[in-house]
């Protein structure tokens, strides 16, 4: 814990007896995250518990899978633990939340620092859970300035939730209703209204519909009679999701072999492919291996949710792809494998 939090700022606080407190909500949240990784891990799984400290984030990952739904996880109060004895031990030592998985305490500690909300990811092969704790502002100054230059008064007059939606889309590549619930705690229906308004006003563009909907920052261009400065667009890259620092590939698809990158190159160098060609490419990529929609999106340089809605779902219905978890077809970590002797 000292190595993780030793260089983090300790705010000046006094307890009820006017002694300086040597702890903070952020340090308490970090301890909770470490305890969670230990008590919820499948210690017979691959890789063990890994805690990594970066300049702008802390990542904790452990073998295993979520035992409660994401909705229950966000609401708190429901806990299913892999290691009851470890959980009891830490509780008796004063660590570990007794009433749930501790996400409320972790998120509250991060809110106090005005840092971006923690983000949870689940991956397959091997089964792992990763908790990312960003140590960056909810609205970094440089991002705020860039969006203000780009959209002018349309961005300057937004309310807090709308600003956070656009900033998140800019920082993370896209934003979804579920991610905004993690960040703001607001109701799904209210967030949908905010996102749709941003689409109507030209700040975001929508990809897919309903539960698969995601939103990206709109490609804005100067309007007639508008003399306000706009940021120049970056030159297009052939495969932005496959750069070494890409969050899509590095965070969720570290196991993809180089030969798959070579196989998927035709899709990465072309902006659009006819559906039959894309299906044939997906079929070859999934031949003999399980791949998630995030894996395929990283390989093909496509949006994962759009790929799942347009290509993967149809291939499953046609009997071209098998589901790793057929009982729960809409699992966010669902994986696909080509059906033996199938023909796309």
| pTM of full prediction above 0.75 | no
User: pLDDT tens across 158-189, in order?
Assistant: 998 999 899 988 888 889 988 888 888 788 88
The region of weakest confidence among 18-22, 58-62, 140-144, 160-164 is 18-22
pLDDT confidence bin for 12, thresholds 50/70/90: low
pLDDT confidence bin for 222, thresholds 50/70/90: very low
Location of each CATH 3.30.565.60 domain in the chain: 2-134
Domain 2-134 has CATH 3.30.565.60: yes
What is the average pLDDT across 304-331?
85
Mean pLDDT of the chain: 77
Interatomic CA distance for residues 182 and 117, integer angstroms: 7
Interatomic CA distance for residues 314 and 321, integer angstroms: 9
pLDDT at 241 exceeding the cut of 60: no
pLDDT at 341 exceeding the cut of 80: no
Location of each CATH 1.10.10.10 domain in the chain: 141-217
CATH architecture of 252-338: Orthogonal Bundle (1.10)
Q: What residues have CB less than 8 Å from 129, skipping those under 6 apart?
A: 40, 61, 62, 64, 65, 66, 120, 121, 122
pLDDT of 220: 52
CATH number, domain 141-217: 1.10.10.10
pLDDT at 198 exceeding the cut of 90: yes
């Amino acid at each position: 814990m000292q190595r993780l939090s030793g260089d983090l700022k300790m705010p000046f606080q006094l307890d009820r007896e006017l002694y300086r407190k040597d702890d903070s909500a952020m340090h308490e949240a970090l301890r909770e995250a470490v305890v969670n990784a230990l008590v919820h891990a499948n210690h017979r799984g691959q890789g063990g518990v890994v805690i990594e400290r970066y300049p702008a984030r802390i990542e904790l990952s452990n073998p295993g899978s979520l035992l409660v739904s994401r909705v229950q996880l966000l609401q708190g109060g429901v806990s299913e633990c892999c290691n009851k004895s470890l959980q009891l031990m830490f509780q008796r030592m004063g660590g570990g939340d007794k009433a749930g998985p501790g996400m409320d305490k972790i998120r509250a500690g991060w809110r106090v620092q005005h840092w971006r909300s923690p983000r949870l990811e689940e991956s397959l092969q091997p089964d792992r859970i990763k908790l990312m704790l960003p140590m960056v502002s909810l609205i970094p100054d440089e991002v705020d300035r860039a969006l203000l230059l780009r959209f002018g008064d349309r961005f300057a007059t937004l309310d807090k939730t709308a600003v956070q939606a656009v900033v998140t889309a800019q920082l993370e590549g896209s934003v979804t209703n579920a991610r905004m619930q993690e960040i703001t705690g607001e109701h799904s229906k209210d967030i949908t209204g905010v996102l749709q308004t941003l689409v109507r006003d030209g700040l975001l563009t929508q990809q897919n519909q309903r539960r698969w909907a995601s939103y990206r920052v709109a490609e804005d261009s100067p309007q007639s009679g508008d003399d306000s400065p706009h940021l120049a667009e970056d030159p297009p890259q052939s495969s932005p999701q496959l750069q070494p620092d890409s969050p899509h590939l590095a965070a969720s698809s570290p196991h993809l072999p180089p030969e798959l990158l070579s196989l998927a190159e035709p899709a990465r160098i072309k902006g659009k492919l006819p559906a039959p060609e894309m299906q044939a490419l997906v079929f070859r990529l999934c031949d003999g291996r399980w791949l998630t929609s995030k894996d395929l999106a990283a390989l093909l340089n496509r949006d994962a949710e759009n790929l799942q809605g347009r290509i993967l779902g149809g291939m499953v219905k046609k009997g071209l792809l098998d589901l790793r978890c057929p009982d729960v077809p809409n699992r966010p970590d669902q994986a696909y494998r080509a059906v033996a002797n199938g023909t796309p």
